[in-house]
Chains A and B, each alone.
Chain A
Amino acid sequence: DVKVTQSSRYLVKRTGEKVFLECVQDMDHENMFWYRQDPGLGLRLIYFSYDVKMKEKGDIPEGYSVSREKKERFSLILESASTNQTSMYLCASSRGRLAIWAYNEQFFGPGTRLTVL
């Protein structure tokens, strides 16, 4: 059974803390994504990666950074957490970065609900 796992389901941090969210996929997928989901706003793309050590900014990258040192692992880093980063964070992966793979679905992890106090 294919899987995307995230390091924590729930996380509570204080303002100013550095926060690491880890995501691991076991499907040998090239693409990995980090989204945040807020009520009424839907899924918004923070960063994505189409290969090891490669990263591209999504729609809302400010205040976040990412790391992809291995194909199966994609980390999201909040350099200095703020209360407006309280949200549900979802990691996803999909197969292939070439256009011929453009139709493939994304597989999502269970999400991490982050609260910043």
Chain B
Amino acid sequence: SQKIEQNSEALNIQEGKTATLTCNYTNYSPAYLQWYRQDPGRGPVFLLLIRENEKEKRKERLKVTFDTTLKQSLFHITASQPADSATYLCASPLSGGYNKLIFGAGTRLAVHP
């Protein structure tokens, strides 16, 4: 079955360092991947989208990569700040059908001062 997985363990890093989160997918080839941020008690908010023919996408301090050989996307936050602490979700469309997305369970990031 088609699966998308993220590291369930929380990532703890020091302020100013680069945070790297991983998203792996199996048994399908998504046309794109999306990354969302979710704060406690709130709905996810879209951050970035990367298409299968793009290797890398940047937006301010955020960078996303897409490696179709490794079936993996990496999400980087450079110069991380305590305000970046949140859960980050990756999502992709399933093969065929309408605009349905499958979401990973998310990785919680904690940035310490």
Which residue numbers of A lie inside 8 Å of B, CB to CB?
A: 4, 31, 33, 35, 40-43, 45, 48, 50, 56, 58, 90, 92, 94, 96-97, 101-111, 113
A50 to B101, CA, bound (A): 13
Total A-B contacts with CB atoms under 8 angstroms apart: 62
Q: For the complex, count residues of B whose C-beta is within 8 A of A.
A: 24
Q: Are B43 and A4 in contact (CB under 8 A)?
A: yes
Tell me the minimal C-beta distance from A43 to chain B in angstroms. Answer: 4
**Given A48-B100, A90-B43: A102 touches B8 (CB 8 Å cut-off):** no
Task: List chain B positions with a Cβ less than 8 A from chain A.
Answer: 8, 31-32, 34, 41-46, 49, 51, 89, 91, 93, 98-106
A108 to B32, CA, bound (A): 19
Q: How far is the CB of A80 from chain B (nearest CB, A)?
A: 27
